[in-house]
A = this chain, B = another copy of it.
Amino acid sequence: MKKKKTTISDVAEKAGVSKSTVSQYINQRFRYMSAETKDRIEQVIQELDFRPNDNARNLKVKKTKVIGILVANILHTLSTEIIRTVEEQLQHRGMKVFICDSADDPEKEKEYLDLLVSTQVDGIIIFPVGNDFKVYNYLIDHSIPMVFVDRLVDGVTSDSVLLDNHAAIFLAVSMLAEKGHENIAFLTLPIDIPITPRLERIEGFKKAMASHKLEVREDDIHSLPRNQIQEKLARIFDAEKPPTAIVAGNDLVLREILSYLKQQKISIPGEVAIVSIDDVAYTEFYEPSITTIGQPIQQMGIKTAELLLNRITNSDQAPYITYRFAPELIVRSSC
Contacts and interface: CB of A to CB of B under 8 A. Distances in A.
B99 A87 contact: no
A74 B66 contact: no
Interface stretch (A136-144, A172-180, A242-250, A301-309): A136-144
Contact of A96 (B75, B99, B112): B112
Interface residues of A, number: 54
Interface in A259-291: 259, 262, 281-282, 284-287
Nearest to A137: B49
A180 to B, nearest CB: 26
Contacts of A96: 100, 111-112, 115
Contacts of A101: 83-84, 87, 97, 99
B120 A53 contact: yes
B74 A80 contact: yes
Contacts of A66: 115
A157 interface: no
A48 to B, nearest CB: 11
Contacts of A286: 282, 286-287
A58 interface: yes
A17 interface: no
A51 B117 contact: yes
Contacts of A52: 118
Contacts of A119: 54-55, 119
A53 B141 contact: no
A311 B52 CA distance: 24
Interface string A53-84: 11110110000001000000011010011011
A98 interface: yes
Nearest to A315: B2
Contacts of A84: 74-75, 101, 103
A182 to B, nearest CB: 27
B51 A138 contact: yes
Given A55-B59, A255-B282, 4 more contacts: A2-B142, A51-B117, A74-B83, A96-B111
24 contacts: A2-B141, A49-B137, A51-B118, A53-B59, A53-B118, A53-B120, A54-B55, A54-B115, A55-B55, A55-B119, A56-B59, A74-B84, A74-B99, A75-B77, A84-B101, A84-B103, A87-B101, A88-B103, A96-B112, A98-B99, A99-B101, A259-B284, A259-B285, A282-B282
